[in-house]
Amino acid sequence: MPLALFGTQILPPPVALFLTIAFVVFLLRRDFRERPNVTSTLWLPIVWMLLIGSRSVVQWLHTLGIINLGAAEEGNMLDAVIYFSLILAGISVLNQRRVSLDVVFRNNGWIIAFLLYCFIAIIWSDYPFVAFKRWIKVLGHPIMVLILFTEPDPEEAIATLMKRSAFVLIPFSICCLKYYERIGRGYDEWGNVVNTGVSQSKSSLGCGCLVFGLFFLWQFLKTWRSPRSISRRNELRLLGGLLVMIGYLLRKSHDATATLCLLIAIAVMLGLGRRWVNKKLIGTYVILAIIALVAAQLTFGIFERVVDLTGHNTTIAGRIALWRDLLAMHTNPIFGVGFESFWLGDRMTALWETRWWHPNEAHNGYLEMYLDLGVAGLLMLAGLIVATFRKIRLELFRNPDWGRFRLAFLAAMIFYNLTEATFKGLSLTWFVFFIIAMEYPVAEYEPVPQFSEAGTLEEESELTYLPR
Residue count of the chain, please give it: 468
Separation CA 97–CA 101 (nearest Å): 12
Q: How far apart are the first and last CA of the chain?
A: 43
According to DSSP, residue 455 is labeled S
State the DSSP code for 279.
G
User: 3-class SS at 451?
Assistant: strand
pLDDT, one tens digit for every residue, the chain (468 residues): 444 444 556 788 999 999 999 999 999 999 999 889 999 999 999 999 999 999 999 889 888 877 776 555 556 888 999 999 999 999 999 999 999 999 999 999 999 999 999 999 999 999 999 999 999 999 999 999 999 999 999 999 999 999 999 999 999 999 999 999 889 988 766 667 889 999 988 899 999 999 999 999 999 999 999 999 999 999 999 999 999 999 999 999 989 899 999 999 999 999 998 888 888 888 888 888 888 888 877 787 777 666 665 556 656 767 888 899 999 998 999 999 999 999 998 888 888 888 777 788 899 999 999 999 999 999 999 999 999 999 999 999 999 999 999 999 999 999 999 989 999 999 999 999 999 999 999 765 454 454 444 444 444 434 444 444
CA–CA distance from 255 to each of 250, 405, 414 (Å)? Answer: 7, 22, 16
Residue 413 parent element (H or E): helix 400-416
Q: Is the pTM of this model over 0.75?
A: yes
**Residue 187: enclosing H or E segment and its boundaries?**
strand 185-187
Do the beta carbons of residue 202 and residue 255 sit within 8 Å? yes
Cα torsion through 451, 453, 456, 461, rounded to 10: -30
Q: How far apart are CA 303 and CA 366, in angstroms?
A: 17
CA–CA separation, 156 vs 3, rounded Å? Answer: 30
Q: What is the DSSP string of 105-147?
A: HHH-HHHHHHHHHHHHTTTT-SSHHHHHHHHHHHHHHHHHHHH
Classify residue 444 by its DSSP letter.
Answer: E
Alpha carbon 122 to its chain's center: 24
% the chain with pLDDT above 90: 66
pLDDT at 116: 97
| pLDDT tens-digit series, residues 27-37 | 999 999 988 99
Contacts of residue 448, Cβ cutoff 8 Å, sequence gap at least 6: 460, 461, 462, 463, 464
> What does the alpha-carbon distance between residue 348 and residue 341 come to, in Å, rounded to a whole number?
10
User: How far apart are alpha carbons 451 and 213 in whole angstroms?
Assistant: 51
Please answer whether residues 111 and 384 qualify as being in contact, where contact means their C-beta atoms are separated by less than 8 angstroms: yes
- Can you say how many angstroms the Cα of residue 229 is from the centroid of all Cα atoms in its chain? 33
CA angle 440-441-445, nearest 5°?
A: 115
Give the Cα separation of 138 and 147 in Å (integer): 15
Domain ranges in the chain are 3-445+462-467
Beta pairing partners, 194: 186
Beta-bridge partners for 445: 465
Going by the DSSP 8-state scheme, the letter that residue 195 receives in this structure is: E
Q: How far apart are CA 87 and CA 43, in angstroms?
A: 13
Q: What is the pLDDT of residue 345?
A: 86
Cβ atoms 305, 349 nearer than 8 A: no
